[in-house]
Chain A
Amino acid sequence: MTILSAVTVAFFLITIVITTLLVNNPWLGLQLNTTLTSSGLELNSINTGGPADKAGLKPGKHLVKFESISGEVITLSDVDKIDDPSLLSTYDEYRSFFKRQAVIDGALRSGPVKLHFSDGETASLQADASRPIRHLPPIYWFQIICAYAALITGFLVLAFNPNTVAPRYYSLASIGMALLIFTNAFYSSRELSLDADLFRVVSKLSWLGDCFIGWGLLGTIWYYPKPINQSLFGPMLLGIFIITVFFLDYFEIPESLDFGQRYIIYLSVAMGAVLAWIQWQRSNFDPVSRASLRWFLICFFSVSLYITFAIIPAAYGFTSPINYNWAIGLLPLLQIGIALGIVRYRLFDIDQLSLRIWLWFLGGLLVIIVDSMLVYLVKINSHISLSFALVLVGWIYFPMRQWLWGSVGWNSTTLRLQEIYPELLKSVLSLSPHRPAGQVWMEILSKLFSPLAVREIPFNGDRPQIFDHGLSMKVAAFENVPAIEIYGANRGKRLMNPGDEEMVAALRQLFIEVLGFRKAYEQGVFKERGRVARDLHDDIASDLLGLIYSAPDTETRRKAQAIFNELRVIIQGMESHNSTLRENLDQWRADTEQRCDKAGIDVVWNDSTSHQISLEFRDMVNLRRALREAVSNVIRHSRATRLTIDISILVMDDDRTLSITLNDNGIGFDATSVSARGIANIRNRMSELGGEAEWNATPRKGTRLDLMLPMGNTQAAIRA
């Protein structure tokens, strides 16, 4: 804070000094304007209470020359009222300008002067020793304020970032800018002349300001966002360059001001552009730096604006659409942009904002260009041409802009959501043990953001939150879904913004609702099953039991018992939650061994499955039936004495298949003899599961049956 107070105090002191110097110049009380003709300067207005007013002069006249008390005649021209002497072409002109200033100044100080107007009239005026402050033009104060803005922004950045190099260069640039603006305010607000020596010093100071700006900005872009090079070679070279350039102008070495000043400015701008491009390339996978750079670029073209509208027209003799002095106001734009970049203000909005600024700029530019073309080329009256221009631009530009906006799709995340919404709904509704909620959630977020990484991390916030200026977003856990972090949107090219936070929050809520719905649904299904099981038990079981007890012979009893066993298995299955494959395999083994034991068949049961695999209730039922039917076939038809059952999980690429192989040493079969119904049943059950059944029989040697059930991809199953 002390820096800022010091700066403010310094600013006020300087303002007082300059203003004092400015007002203590001979004052005639008139406002002179350039005329673009050779007939002197136009009397634009008369300041009330000034010498001209008292002499009864009226505006509108053209002041052609004036005569000093000693008889010296000075012919006035536009050059004398030039805002900034460095806008002249050559140093010769520059020097003669100051000579003239000295003469004019001397004449005004030495006594009354005689004014000669273009219509032949004359007037005699005695200049006041100083100008009342209230008669300083508004533009003077405007520039003073701009100078303050420039100064304070530069030092604000330094106040918040005292330890890095870039802000120091930046402060240098802002000092330069303030210097430039102060000096320009000083001499552009003169009535006609200033003390020549003072004027010249101030003009040199103005170039010093330019040099500081160049030095400061180039230094800043060298060091920000990251130093281009660790060695001091670059900055040293820069320093030498600037010092050389300053003295080149100071000693007025070149012939023209083009070489002395203007080309150097263009060169520096070009160098700045090159450095900026280098920094841009380097920030390819660093979205935070990239976003900071965008702020720079916004400012960069405000500099270009400044040069385009202010320096070039004035220097080459065109009428600039914008008054040179008002254009000074553009300079702080440069400042603000860079400052924002350095303090990383809301980097994540930069994409949208920068596009909008560019489009706005292009729109305005287009209007101006078309207007100018119509005025200069087609020679239409300027009022009409402007309307024309607006209409043309309106019919061409705005539709183009709309189309551009739509196709570039700047709200990229929203558009992406629209694309993937149908998929999103489908995945969310198709959750299963193979595709657990956590996996689906991560898939959806990956599709939405195309991030560099989506990973599980601990996080507890109640809303999704972005960190690191938008590099990453953390989302809290819910239901069976872990807390995750999304890192590096758009493959590391984009920073996430509050809009993204809101979208993820909404998605998360949606997911929670859907999971809740599914849970309720599953509970409903479970309850319903329970009801059915109870009905089965209450109604059927007891009747069936009665049938067993009252069976007339063993054969009938056996049949009834078999049916009862089926019923038991179904009821027990219905009343339990999704069981693991392991539990069921063990039960099926016991059953199979018991049945084969009774039929005199040896069973070898090889089970190599070890994972905890879950299957839907329906799938378990189908698998059990298929297996049971297959074993029944062996018992009834094969006349085998040995049955080997191998159960394993086959892994191919990312997919797993459960394989159950039954090998018996029976009589084999040929396709026609065995009951088609049995085989069809097995086939149907397997296909309902999404699997297959395949027989391979060798007559008299045995039969081999392969039951295969795909289980989805490895990741899902293991996580389940």
Chain B
Amino acid sequence: MKDIRQSLIVEDLPAAQVWMHSILAQSFPGVRIDVADSLASARQKLKSPPDLVLVDLNLPDGNGLDIIRELKQQRKRIWCIVTTIYDDDSHLFPALIAGADGYLLKDQDQADLCLELQRILKGQPPLSPSIARRVLGSFKIQADPLSEPLTTRQQEVLKMIAQGDSIQTVANKLGISYHTAASHIRGIYQRLNVGTRAEATAKAIRLGLD
């Protein structure tokens, strides 16, 4: 795991900026934290790329997704994490498609958020039942031979999460460790992730997001 030395918070609500700032400071002692309150200012600040970005989807001059998409297309090794109020599929699914590495729910305790952040960086991102269902559905529709389908294991995990099982329960049911179960989710994220702009557009169109 790469060291996080520089980070950027893209957020327009001042109180949330402070909250996130605090979390980053606790998670990565000594990290440099920069704040942008709009897409425009974020792009400016990204000229000197950080190691990790916390992006709010709801920005005054646009959707934070765009940043994530741009960053991922440039194949920069930057952690892109979405901060959001929602954990349902209609809000988050586009972010995952765009390549987000995980998401944080803004209303949670700082302690919980730090834990989640650590997990994401360990390759164990969160997944709500709603998103899991949506992922399952979207991979059923796709019949594209070029894109890789989900592995059987990943499908199993998705199904259980969609039914509301916690990761621990999934691990128990499959007879694997918590870590293994959680890292399957990372794999699922990667399946959703896209490397190039063309793929992104194509995928978005196919999944009816455009």
A residues at B contact (CB < 8 Å) = 537, 541-542, 544-546, 548-550, 557, 561, 564-565, 568, 571-572, 575-576, 583, 585-590, 593-594, 597, 605
Q: How far is the CA of A549 from the CA of B162 in the complex (A)?
A: 30
Q: How far is the CA of A545 from the CA of B84 in the complex (A)?
A: 11
Q: How far is the CA of A572 from the CA of B88 in the complex (A)?
A: 7
- Indicate if B178 sits at the interface (CB-CB under 8 A): no
- Indicate if B172 sits at the interface (CB-CB under 8 A): no
- Indicate if B32 sits at the interface (CB-CB under 8 A): no
> Is A589 in contact with B163, judged by CB distance below 8 angstroms?
yes
Which B residues touch A605, using CB under 8 A?
164
> Is B16 in contact with A545, judged by CB distance below 8 angstroms?
yes
Which B residues touch A583, using CB under 8 A?
129-130, 133
> Is B164 in contact with A549, judged by CB distance below 8 angstroms?
no
- Indicate if B200 sits at the interface (CB-CB under 8 A): no
> Is A550 in contact with B15, judged by CB distance below 8 angstroms?
yes
Query: Min CB distance, A561 to chain B, in Å?
Result: 6
Query: Min CB distance, A628 to chain B, in Å?
Result: 14
> Is B164 in contact with A545, judged by CB distance below 8 angstroms?
no
Query: Min CB distance, B33 to chain A, in Å?
Result: 17
Of A542, A561, A565, A586, which contacts B129 at CB under 8 A?
Answer: A586
Q: Is the interface of B mostly helix, strand, loop or mixed?
A: loop
Q: How far is the CA of A594 from the CA of B164 in the complex (A)?
A: 10
> Is A542 in contact with B13, judged by CB distance below 8 angstroms?
yes
> Is B86 in contact with A572, judged by CB distance below 8 angstroms?
yes
Query: Min CB distance, A715 to chain B, in Å?
Result: 27
Q: Is the interface of A mostly helix, strand, loop or mixed?
A: helix
Of A561, A571, A575, A593, which contacts B108 at CB under 8 A?
Answer: A561
> Is A576 in contact with B88, judged by CB distance below 8 angstroms?
yes
Q: Nearest A residue to B163 by beta-carbon distance?
A: A586
> Is A565 in contact with B166, judged by CB distance below 8 angstroms?
no
Q: Nearest B residue to A585 by beta-carbon distance?
A: B164
> Is B130 in contact with A587, judged by CB distance below 8 angstroms?
yes
- Indicate if B90 sits at the interface (CB-CB under 8 A): yes
Query: Min CB distance, B162 to chain A, in Å?
Result: 6
Which A residues touch B18, using CB under 8 A?
549
> Is A549 in contact with B85, judged by CB distance below 8 angstroms?
no
- Given A545-B107, A587-B130 in contact, is the A576-B90 Cβ separation under 8 Å? yes
> Is A565 in contact with B107, judged by CB distance below 8 angstroms?
yes
What does the 1/0 interface line of B93-127 toward A look like (CB < 8 Å)? 00000000000001111000000000000000000
Q: Among the interface residues A565, A575, A590, A605, which one has the most CB atoms of the partner chain B within 10 A?
A: A590
Query: In which size bucket is the chain B interface?
Result: 20 to 34
Which A residues touch B86, using CB under 8 A?
568, 571-572
Q: How far is the CA of A590 from the CA of B164 in the complex (A)?
A: 5
Q: How far is the CA of A557 from the CA of B110 in the complex (A)?
A: 11
Query: Min CB distance, B1 to chain A, in Å?
Result: 28
Query: Min CB distance, B186 to chain A, in Å?
Result: 20
Which A residues touch B106, using CB under 8 A?
545
Which A residues touch B15, using CB under 8 A?
545-546, 549-550
Which B residues touch A593, using CB under 8 A?
164, 166
> Is B107 in contact with A590, judged by CB distance below 8 angstroms?
no
Q: How far is the CA of A11 from the CA of B37 in the complex (A)?
A: 107
Known: A561-B108, A568-B85. 13 other contacts (CB 8 A): A546-B13, A549-B16, A550-B15, A557-B109, A561-B107, A564-B85, A568-B87, A576-B90, A585-B164, A586-B162, A587-B164, A590-B165, A594-B166
Which B residues touch A561, using CB under 8 A?
107-109
Query: Min CB distance, B159 to chain A, in Å?
Result: 10
3 nearest CB pairs, A to B: A589-B164, A590-B164, A586-B164
Q: How far is the CA of A326 from the CA of B159 in the complex (A)?
A: 91
Which B residues touch A564, using CB under 8 A?
85, 107
Q: How far is the CA of A565 from the CA of B85 in the complex (A)?
A: 9
29 A–B pairs (Cβ distance < 8 Å), ordered by A: A541-B85, A542-B13, A545-B15, A545-B106, A545-B107, A548-B107, A549-B19, A550-B15, A557-B109, A561-B109, A564-B85, A565-B107, A568-B85, A568-B86, A572-B86, A572-B88, A572-B90, A575-B90, A576-B88, A576-B90, A586-B129, A586-B163, A587-B164, A589-B163, A590-B128, A590-B129, A590-B165, A590-B166, A594-B166
Q: Nearest B residue to A571 by beta-carbon distance?
A: B86
Q: How far is the CA of A106 from the CA of B162 in the complex (A)?
A: 118
Which A residues touch B164, using CB under 8 A?
585-590, 593, 605
Q: How far is the CA of A575 from the CA of B91 in the complex (A)?
A: 10
Query: Min CB distance, B140 to chain A, in Å?
Result: 15
Q: Nearest A residue to B107 by beta-carbon distance?
A: A564
Q: How far is the CA of A545 from the CA of B11 in the complex (A)?
A: 13
Which A residues touch B16, using CB under 8 A?
545, 549
Q: Nearest A residue to B91 by beta-carbon distance?
A: A572
What does the 1/0 interface line of B1-41 toward A look like (CB < 8 Å)? 00000000000010110110000000000000000000000
Query: Min CB distance, B132 to chain A, in Å?
Result: 9
Which B residues touch A550, using CB under 8 A?
15
Q: Nearest B residue to A607 by beta-carbon distance?
A: B163
Query: Min CB distance, A620 to chain B, in Å?
Result: 14
Which A residues touch B85, using CB under 8 A?
537, 541, 545, 564, 568
Which B residues touch A576, using CB under 8 A?
88, 90
Q: Nearest B residue to A573 by beta-carbon distance?
A: B88
> Is B13 in contact with A545, judged by CB distance below 8 angstroms?
yes
Query: Min CB distance, A597 to chain B, in Å?
Result: 8
Which B residues touch A589, using CB under 8 A?
163-164
Query: Min CB distance, A571 to chain B, in Å?
Result: 8
Query: Min CB distance, A225 to chain B, in Å?
Result: 57
Q: Among the interface residues B16, B85, B107, which one has the most CB atoms of the partner chain A within 10 A?
A: B107
